């Protein structure tokens, strides 16, 4: 991979501009014979499968109100803390909002389509059918927050920086690019490693652009409270380390009139206040210190919002529909630990979780059991027999999927609702016996060594603690000693980054277009890479092959087959004890905030909201 210059002291902007005329020659590289043919036309957008839904002259995204009022402040609450403003290094706890507010990507994602991108910093994109290269043309109006023009050189610089020094996901994704080059001052080309990586051009379209002239490469991986220079609609105006961040809308923001931005970024100021626990954050919302909150506790949603501001109508509760999968919310086994390395043990312990009791007694019957990693979408495999396409993908791995999961009849055991289900206890102990464990004077022990089964459930909030204590009581019936350890979000994040836990409660969010992030979630390489999200430690060749297949899929049907097959393999591994989800997105807001009538496919987006102007007089 080459670039116009290696890492080192960045050149002055004058140096960059002086050399712009020679960029094409400096980056001239051998091209395949096909490159002599007529190249594809530049396009306004690109979709993972098929064509983008919006035409070249679209005025704004359908979920945005183009004439939304501008002004005022939005105050959000965030759990945890932060010790760095660099979201692209895995070191430290990252501040919320830097991506999107301060740093923009080359292209803007539409949240009304599974995976489509439209022009932003890159005005157009050139992408052949084979997808073995992609060319982005920079909008001539694009500028950094310091007023300097964005060039192709900045894009190549950012790419190389993130490839070599960014988070593990950037490194693994960008190393699949064979070569990056600036064809001119405004055109940047990425030659890809092969036509089977069909998502990679879109992943590159989501790459941020950092200023080469203002970025210190040597200290890039360090934690810092000094923001990098980006192209986004906001700049950092105040930092109280670990406690709050304030963003101010840039009055000179170059892209405010782009179709992808019309009706977005409506607040003059956005403040993010950090709280150590969910209860204190909720109390702050009740006092009006926070403007809006998403609620994920069914009990609080049904009983906790009976306070004066709600009764007066000053606080509005709303439920929003979403078309995206619910994701997998679960107790997660760290299979790196010897006690959890056996799939039979993991499955057996799942029988000791009485979902029916927890749903009725803790959540008032408001939840639904999660039965798939892609719950609530066409990507879910549960309840459906494997198709011929799925079976063809799974053929090289004949024993990896259980028969009842292959035919769609499997479902996680719910329990009888008593919290003392004897039949499920019997099944659990029988399976544990097959795996070499037995009850000895009320303690589950390894039959050969006498080692007792003890483990810690790491949690970072009272809701997780309450849920984990209930599970621990069920485990105790089988002689398993589970200790619940409550830590703050920062501590939990640090331990999770290094896989220093036995069991956690975690929710892998999903989308209608799962892709490269699946490698981070359950790929074999990620299992041994700190900072990734393969918390379960899965190292299964079938998983890796199916992730490759879904990324390489050329049409939606092949894609769905690959995702469903992946779902079946993950379920067959019993890496988690699935928990639950709710059908709607619950949000509460102080009535001074408002939002468009149209909700995007992905659910509500605060970027489209606004503060109603104060009435005159």
Over residues 365-397, the pLDDT tens digits come to 989 999 999 999 999 999 999 999 999 999 999
Instruction: Answer yes or no: are the C-beta atoms of 226 and 92 closer than 8 Å.
Output: no
Q: Which residues pair with 107 in a beta bridge?
A: 119
pLDDT at 121: 99
pLDDT at 18: 34
How many CA atoms does the CB half-sphere of 466 hold within 13 Å?
11
Strands laid side by side in the 107-110 sheet: 45-47, 116-119, 107-110
Q: Is the pTM of this model over 0.85?
A: no
Instruction: Answer yes or no: are the C-beta atoms of 478 and 439 closer than 8 Å.
Output: yes
- Per DSSP, the residues of 290-344 read SSEEEE--HHHHHHTT-SHHHHHTSEEEEEE---S---EEEEEE-TTSGGGSSHH
Q: What is the pLDDT of residues 3-18, one digit of tens each?
A: 332 233 333 333 333 3
Residues 328-581, CATH architecture: Roll (3.10)
Give CA 374 to chain center in angstroms.
Answer: 14
Dist. CA 82–CA 92, nearest whole Å: 7
Instruction: Answer yes or no: are the C-beta atoms of 185 and 20 closer than 8 Å.
Output: yes
CA dihedral for 229, 231, 235, 239, sign (positive or negative):
negative
pLDDT at 7: 30
Instruction: Answer yes or no: are the C-beta atoms of 117 and 127 closer than 8 Å.
Output: no
Instruction: Answer yes or no: are the C-beta atoms of 319 and 586 closer than 8 Å.
Output: yes
Contacts 24+ apart (CB under 8 A), 387-393: 387/561, 387/564, 389/557, 389/558, 389/561, 390/561, 390/564, 390/565, 390/568, 393/545, 393/546, 393/549, 393/561, 393/562, 393/565
Dist. CA 333–CA 348, nearest whole Å: 12
- Nearest residue to 332 via CA among 609, 177, 538, 150: 538
- Per DSSP, the residues of 62-128 read TTS-TT----SEEEEEEES--SBS-TTSSSSPBPTTIIIIIB-BSEEEETTSSSEEEESSEEEEE--
Residues 13-51+64-214, CATH architecture: 3-Layer(aba) Sandwich (3.40)
Counting as low any pLDDT under 50, the low residues of the chain are 1-33, 35, 616-617
DSSP H or E segment with residue 567: helix 556-573
Dist. CA 436–CA 502, nearest whole Å: 20
How many CB atoms sit inside 10 A of residue 615's CB? 5
How many CB atoms sit inside 10 A of residue 308's CB? 9
Structure tokens at 549: 């297949």
Helices (H) and strands (E) in the chain, counts: 19, 25
- Nearest residue to 552 via CA among 130, 65, 73, 98: 130
pLDDT at 38: 75
pLDDT at 379: 96
Structure tokens at 239: 């930092």
DSSP H or E segment with residue 576: strand 576-578
Dist. CA 497–CA 493, nearest whole Å: 6
Dist. CA 478–CA 452, nearest whole Å: 12
Instruction: Answer yes or no: are the C-beta atoms of 374 and 380 closer than 8 Å.
Output: yes
pLDDT at 330: 98
């Amino acid at each position: 991979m080459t670039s116009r210059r290696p890492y080192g002291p960045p050149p002055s902007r004058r140096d960059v501009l002086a050399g712009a005329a020679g960029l094409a020659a400096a980056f001239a590289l051998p091209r395949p014979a096909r490159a002599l043919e007529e190249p594809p036309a530049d396009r306004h957008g690109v979709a993972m499968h098929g064509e983008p839904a919006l035409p070249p002259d679209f005025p704004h995204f359908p979920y945005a109100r183009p004439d939304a009022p501008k002004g005022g402040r939005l105050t959000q609450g965030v759990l945890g803390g932060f010790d760095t403003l660099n979201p692209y290094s895995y070191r430290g706890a990252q501040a919320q909002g830097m991506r999107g507010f301060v740093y923009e990507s080359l292209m803007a994602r539409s949240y009304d389509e599974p995976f489509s991108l439209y022009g932003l910093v890159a005005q157009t994109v050139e992408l052949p059918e084979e997808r073995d290269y992609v060319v982005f043309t920079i909008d001539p109006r694009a500028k950094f927050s310091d007023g300097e023009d964005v060039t192709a050189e900045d894009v190549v610089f950012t790419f190389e920086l993130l490839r070599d020094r960014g988070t593990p996901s950037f490194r693994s994704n960008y190393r699949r690019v064979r070569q990056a080059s600036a064809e001119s001052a405004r055109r940047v080309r990425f030659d890809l490693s092969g036509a089977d990586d069909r998502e990679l051009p879109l992943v590159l379209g989501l790459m941020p652009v950092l200023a080469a002239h203002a970025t210190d490469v040597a200290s890039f991986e360090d934690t810092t409270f000094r923001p990098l220079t980006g192209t986004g609609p906001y700049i950092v105006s105040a930092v109280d380390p670990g406690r709050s961040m304030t963003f101010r809308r840039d009055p000179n923001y170059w892209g405010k009139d782009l179709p992808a931005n019309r009706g977005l970024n409506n607040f003059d100021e956005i403040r993010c206040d950090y709280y150590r626990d969910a209860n204190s954050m909720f109390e702050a919302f009740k006092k009006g210190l926070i403007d809006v909150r998403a609620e994920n506790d069914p009990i609080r949603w049904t009983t906790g919002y009976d306070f004066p501001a709600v009764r007066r109508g000053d606080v509005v509760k709303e439920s929003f529909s979403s078309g995206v999968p619910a994701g997998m919310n679960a107790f997660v086994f760290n299979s790196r630990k010897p006690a959890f390395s056996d799939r039979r043990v993991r499955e057996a312990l799942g029988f000791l979780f009485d979902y029916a009791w927890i749903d009725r007694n803790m959540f008032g019957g408001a939840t639904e059991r999660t039965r798939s990693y892609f719950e609530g979408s066409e990507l879910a495999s549960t309840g459906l027999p494997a198709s011929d396409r799925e079976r063809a993908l799974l053929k090289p791995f004949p024993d990896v999927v259980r028969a009842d999961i292959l035919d769609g009849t499997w479902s996680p055991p719910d329990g009888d609702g008593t919290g003392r289900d004897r039949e499920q206890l019997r099944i659990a102990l029988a399976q544990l016996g097959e795996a070499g464990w037995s009850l000895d004077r009320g303690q589950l022990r390894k039959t050969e060594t006498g080692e007792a089964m003890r483990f810690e459930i790491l949690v970072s909030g009272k809701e997780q603690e309450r849920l984990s204590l209930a599970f621990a009581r069920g485990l105790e019936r089988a002689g398993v000693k589970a200790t619940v350890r409550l830590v703050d979000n920062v501590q939990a994040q640090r331990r999770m980054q290094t896989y220093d836990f036995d069991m956690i409660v975690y929710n892998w969010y999903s989308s209608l277009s799962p892709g490269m992030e699946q490698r981070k979630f359950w790929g074999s390489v990620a299992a041994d890479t700190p900072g990734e999200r393969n918390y379960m430690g899965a190292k299964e060749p079938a998983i890796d092959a199916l992730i490759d297949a879904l990324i390489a899929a050329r049409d939606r049907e092949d894609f769905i087959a690959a995702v469903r097959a992946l779902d079946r393999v993950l379920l067959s591994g019993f890496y988690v004890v699935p928990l639950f989800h709710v059908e709607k997105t619950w949000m509460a807001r102080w009535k001074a905030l408002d939002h468009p009538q149209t909700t995007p496919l992905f659910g509500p987006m605060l970027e489209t909201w606004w503060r109603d102007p104060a009435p005159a007089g």
